[in-house]
């Protein structure tokens, strides 16, 4: 071995698993790294520089010395809740994408479900801090890899369209489609433009168009469009790309046009669409508000009387005017109160002109069902608002850090996967009474994965958490299974 050139008193100060080298009369400490020699025998060589030794102070680590040590505590509970209860989603992704792409899509979506929409540059760190880093250690989630994946999903849409078409084919055939504007302050974003919400946002926007199964609460497609593009135009693209047959579309009034009505009626499809008070069809049919027919509408604890009249437009189409008497009374009361508070904007004369239109919805449809059934079907659409409110409140496209057209389109597919995962996990958590999914994710953060004696163990598990985890298909005794 030869004479050791570093004094013994210095060697005693080095950490275990390290080696000391003398360079310019200073004692530098390196980690020891095992190597296999050509002979087949194992030997050692110096690895990363981790600090130096001062004869008086002892070992002085580099600033990042602790950071270079092995991670022995990982985030577990909230990630396990999401992953263990969304296995159908990864199974579906694997049908259409190669395993590396499928798991990258899936893991990115999991990070968004757990942490909301975080910057792409931070996703690798979130993965490294979670048990996903050891369970899926072969899947590299660097910013470069993620950005390339999003670009590919945006440029090479074949598999994306096939995936969405499979969701359409498997859905209940009762589909709500809606468009939403998302504020975007980035003037470098290819899709950020002045749109119909400019007066509200005082900034650019882009538009998200999503379709949603109103019976399963699952999204079935997602597209991002330029901020200036109206919903009634962007819907053409969706209907041309995908095949819809024997579907009932429940659509927002922003999609109304004669051309779109023809598109919604093709392939034996049906539609329900409310009319805007600004269009002539609405104004014509509401000139006479003598509604002689009634039915009782009941949902949950709410019971109200609905007045209506039905007018046949042609052999296939009818328009139905509905007036919710409870809502009519509420809106009348609010208007009369505003006459006192804001006389410059509200008046008794205007009240007399519009009072019969409070609580009124005018719907056009080609369904054969009676007016009561059409109304019930339309009301089911409002479940989509819960999904979109959650979606809009959590996404900040500026924070994510996207601006390129193709990566934005790739992100729209990730949004779809986030929605699928969210609904799968929410369904699994329904048997935990008194807890929302967000509450469960927050509480499950207490459960960490710790490495002890070379084995990973779930720790900090209170009794109520253990019970909830068991209900959510999580075996805390075998956390990596």
pLDDT at 227: 47
| CA–CA separation, 350 and 386 (whole Å) | 34
The pLDDT value recorded for residue 417 is 94
Contact 72, 451 (CB under 8 A): yes
- Identify the pLDDT of residue 87: 94
Instruction: Chunk the chain into consecutive blocks of 10 residues (it has 481) and report each block's average pLDDT, rounded to whole numbers.
Output: 70 86 89 73 78 88 64 88 94 95 96 87 91 92 92 90 95 85 55 52 65 89 65 71 92 85 91 93 92 90 92 92 95 93 91 93 94 92 64 56 74 91 90 84 89 82 81 85 79
Q: Cα(29)–Cα(47) distance, rounded to whole angstroms?
A: 9
Q: Hey, what are 2's tokens?
A: 């030869």
Which residues have C-beta within 8 Å of that of residue 42, sequence separation ≥ 6? 34, 35, 36
Rg (CA), the chain: 30
pLDDT of residue 82: 94
Q: CA distances (Å), 105 to each of 5, 87, 317, 411, 469, in order?
A: 53, 13, 43, 10, 25
- Say which residues have a Cβ less than 8 Å from residue 313's Cβ, sequence separation at least 6: 319, 364
Amino acid 224: pLDDT: 76
pLDDT of residue 463: 79
Q: How far apart are CA 146 and CA 162, in angstroms?
A: 21
Half-sphere exposure of 74 (CA within 13 A, CB side): 26
Q: Which domains does the chain have, with CATH numbers?
A: 8-68 (no CATH), 158-403 (3.90.350.10)
CA distance 231 to 173: 21
State whether residue 23 is helix, strand or coil: strand
CA distances from 411 to 51, 163, 323, 344 (A): 43, 15, 41, 47
């Amino acid at each position: 071995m030869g004479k050791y050139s570093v004094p013994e008193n210095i060697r005693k100060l080095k950490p275990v698993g390290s080696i000391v080298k003398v360079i310019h009369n200073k004692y530098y400490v390196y980690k020891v790294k095992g190597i296999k020699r050509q002979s087949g025998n194992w030997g050692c060589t110096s690895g990363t520089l981790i600090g130096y030794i001062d004869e008086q102070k002892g070992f002085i680590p580099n600033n990042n010395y602790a950071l270079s040590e092995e991670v022995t505590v990982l985030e577990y509970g909230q990630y396990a809740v999401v992953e263990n209860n969304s296995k159908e989603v990864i199974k579906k992704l694997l049908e259409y994408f190669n395993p590396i792409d499928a798991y990258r899509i899936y893991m990115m979506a999991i990070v968004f479900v757990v942490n909301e929409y975080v910057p792409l540059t931070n996703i690798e760190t979130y993965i490294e801090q979670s048990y996903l880093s050891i369970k899926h250690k072969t899947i590299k989630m660097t910013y470069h890899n993620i950005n390339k994946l999003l670009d590919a999903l945006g440029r090479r849409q074949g598999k994306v369209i096939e995936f969405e078409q499979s969701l359409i084919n498997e859905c209940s055939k009762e589909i709500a489609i809606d468009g939403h504007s998302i504020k975007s302050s980035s003037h470098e974003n290819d899709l950020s433009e002045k749109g119909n919400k400019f007066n509200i946002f005082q900034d650019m926007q882009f538009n998200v168009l999503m379709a949603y199964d109103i019976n399963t609460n699952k999204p079935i497609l997602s597209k991002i469009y330029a901020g200036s593009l109206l919903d009634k135009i962007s819907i053409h693209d969706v209907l041309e790309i995908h095949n819809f047959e024997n579907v009932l579309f429940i659509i927002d009034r922003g999609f109304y046009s004669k051309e779109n009505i023809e598109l919604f009626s093709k392939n034996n499809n049906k539609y329900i669409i409310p009319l805007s008070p600004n269009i002539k069809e609405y104004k014509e049919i509401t000139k006479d508000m003598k509604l002689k027919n009634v039915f009782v509408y009941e949902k949950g604890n709410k019971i109200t009387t609905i007045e209506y009249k039905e007018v046949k437009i042609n052999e296939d189409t009818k328009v139905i005017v509905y007036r919710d008497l409870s809502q009519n009374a509420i809106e009348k009361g609010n208007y009369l109160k505003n006459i006192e508070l804001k006389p410059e904007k509200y008046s008794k004369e205007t009240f007399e002109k519009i009072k019969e239109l409070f609580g009124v919805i005018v719907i056009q449809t080609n369904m054969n069902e009676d007016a009561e059934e059409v109304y019930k079907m339309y009301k089911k659409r409002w479940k989509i608002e819960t999904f979109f409110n959650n979606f809009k409140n959590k996404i900040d496209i500026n924070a994510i850090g996207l601006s390129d057209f193709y990566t934005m389109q790739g992100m729209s597919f990730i949004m779809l996967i986030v929605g699928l995962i969210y609904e799968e996990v929410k369904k699994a958590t329904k048997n935990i009474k008194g807890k929302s999914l967000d509450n469960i994710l927050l509480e499950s953060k207490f459960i960490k994965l710790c490495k002890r004696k070379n084995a990973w163990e779930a720790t900090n598990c209170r009794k109520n958490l253990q019970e909830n985890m068991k209900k959510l298909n999580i075996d805390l005794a075998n956390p990596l299974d």
